[in-house]
């Protein structure tokens, strides 16, 4: 049941609205919506504007936070986050450390899977924004810390880095991992990827780098073909302790 202050997605009439249930109204080109009327409803229920247009209520998933959540910069793409999850085997038994929080999108994805997530962001204003998104996602197992990754302590099953990586970050990640745990580093450029690989090779038992490529298919009356939009986004290096 939806409570006051919960984030919801309203979908209908070719529109999507990412709002909070509670006092107030939302003005749309399809009429006004009473946001208080959403409280007490469930996902899949219908809410109607004053002019009769219908919107379906959805409980947001991580994909919706990627699309609609407030951003402090460009987050990792879902396909890139998915590769990290798949190649580290992230699961409900894992304690995960994430660094380079940004808007918190990767932490939100990880939080829906792992036992616990602690995400480090050196810029306090970014960490504060990320925590708002994490709170909206209703993930009490995710903690945002406004501090440098090198200050992180503890033992983790997965360490994920999405920042300007230096060799000492890889060394510190190694010290934080359980035996058999994984380090995953996202790097947008080959030069940064080389820093990770060179630093990890002498420490980890396995080191593999994957280029991140995705091609969406488009279909029209003329035929079906890959989209002409850019399909490359970066590189993820996976290293196992």
The domain that holds 21 is classified in CATH as 3.10.330.20
144-200 per-position pLDDT tens digit: 999 999 999 999 999 999 999 999 999 999 999 999 999 999 999 999 999 999 999
Chain mean position to CA 155: 22
Query: Is the same domain home to 73 and 48?
Result: no
Spatial separation of the C-alpha atoms in residues 76 and 55, rounded to whole Å: 30
How high is the pLDDT of residue 161?
Answer: 98
**CB atoms inside a 10 Å sphere around CB 58:** 16
Contact by Cβ (8 Å): 170, 147: no
Query: Is the same domain home to 102 and 117?
Result: yes
Q: Is the pLDDT of residue 94 over 80?
A: yes
- Torsion, Cα of 194, 181, 85, 140 (10° steps): -120
Query: In terms of residue numbers, what domain contains 37?
Result: 7-58
Contact by Cβ (8 Å): 55, 32: no
How high is the pLDDT of residue 54?
Answer: 86
Domain membership flag for residue 176: yes
Structural domain total, the chain: 2
How high is the pLDDT of residue 8?
Answer: 94
Sequence-separated contacts (24+) of 21-30 with Cβ below 8 Å: 28/53
Q: Is the pLDDT of residue 12 over 90?
A: no
- In this prediction, residue 15 has a pLDDT band, given cuts at 50, 70 and 90, of confident
Q: Is the pLDDT higher at 107 or at 75? A: 107
How high is the pLDDT of residue 31?
Answer: 83
Domain membership flag for residue 41: yes
Question: For position 88, which CATH number holds?
Answer: 3.40.50.150
Q: Is the pLDDT of residue 30 over 80?
A: no
Measured CA distances, 120 to 17, 159, 200, 234, 241 (Å):
30, 11, 21, 21, 21
Q: Is the pLDDT of residue 139 over 80?
A: yes
- Tell me phi and psi for residue 124, to 5 degrees: -55, -40
Q: Which of 5-9, 46-50, 60-64 has the lowest mean pLDDT?
A: 46-50
Domain membership flag for residue 162: yes
Q: Which of 71-75, 85-89, 172-176, 203-207 has the lowest mean pLDDT?
A: 71-75
How high is the pLDDT of residue 241?
Answer: 97
- In this prediction, residue 93 has a pLDDT band, given cuts at 50, 70 and 90, of very high
Query: Is the same domain home to 15 and 93?
Result: no
Query: Is the same domain home to 23 and 87?
Result: no
Query: Is the same domain home to 23 and 85?
Result: no
Query: Is the same domain home to 16 and 81?
Result: no
Query: Is the same domain home to 94 and 38?
Result: no
How high is the pLDDT of residue 136?
Answer: 94
Query: Is the same domain home to 103 and 156?
Result: yes
How high is the pLDDT of residue 208?
Answer: 98
- How large a percentage of the chain has pLDDT more than 70? 100
How high is the pLDDT of residue 103?
Answer: 92
Indicate the pTM of the whole model: 0.89
Query: Is the same domain home to 148 and 226?
Result: yes
**CB atoms inside a 10 Å sphere around CB 132:** 15
Spatial separation of the C-alpha atoms in residues 238 and 241, rounded to whole Å: 10
How high is the pLDDT of residue 215?
Answer: 86
- How large a percentage of the chain has pLDDT more than 90? 76
- In this prediction, residue 138 has a pLDDT band, given cuts at 50, 70 and 90, of very high
Domain membership flag for residue 2: no
Query: Is the same domain home to 15 and 118?
Result: no
Q: Is the pLDDT of residue 69 over 90?
A: no
Domain membership flag for residue 118: yes
Query: Is the same domain home to 144 and 50?
Result: no
């Amino acid at each position: 049941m939806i409570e006051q202050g919960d984030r919801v997605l309203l979908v209908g009439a070719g529109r999507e609205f990412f709002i909070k249930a509670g006092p107030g109204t939302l003005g749309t080109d399809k009429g006004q919506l009473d946001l208080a009327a959403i409280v007490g409803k469930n996902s899949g229920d219908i809410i109607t504007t004053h002019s009769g247009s219908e919107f379906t209520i959805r409980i947001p998933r991580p994909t919706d936070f990627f699309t609609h959540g407030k951003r402090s910069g460009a987050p990792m793409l879902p396909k890139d986050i998915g590769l990290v999850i798949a190649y580290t085997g992230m699961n409900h038994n894992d304690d995960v450390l994430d660094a380079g929080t940004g808007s918190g999108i990767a932490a939100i994805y990880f939080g829906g899977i792992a036992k616990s997530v602690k995400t480090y962001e050196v810029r306090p204003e970014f960490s504060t924004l990320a925590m708002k998104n994490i709170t909206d996602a209703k993930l009490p197992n995710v903690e945002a810390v406004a501090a440098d990754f090198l200050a992180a302590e503890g033992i983790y099953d997965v360490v994920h880095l999405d920042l300007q990586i230096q060799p000492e970050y890889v060394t510190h990640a190694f010290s934080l991992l359980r035996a058999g745990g994984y380090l995953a580093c996202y790097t947008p450029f080959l030069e940064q990827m080389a820093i990770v690989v060179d630093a990890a090779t002498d420490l980890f038992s396995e080191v593999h780098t994957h280029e991140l490529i995705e091609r969406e298919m488009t279909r029209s009356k003329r035929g079906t073909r890959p989209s002409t939009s850019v399909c490359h986004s970066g590189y993820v290096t996976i290293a196992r302790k």
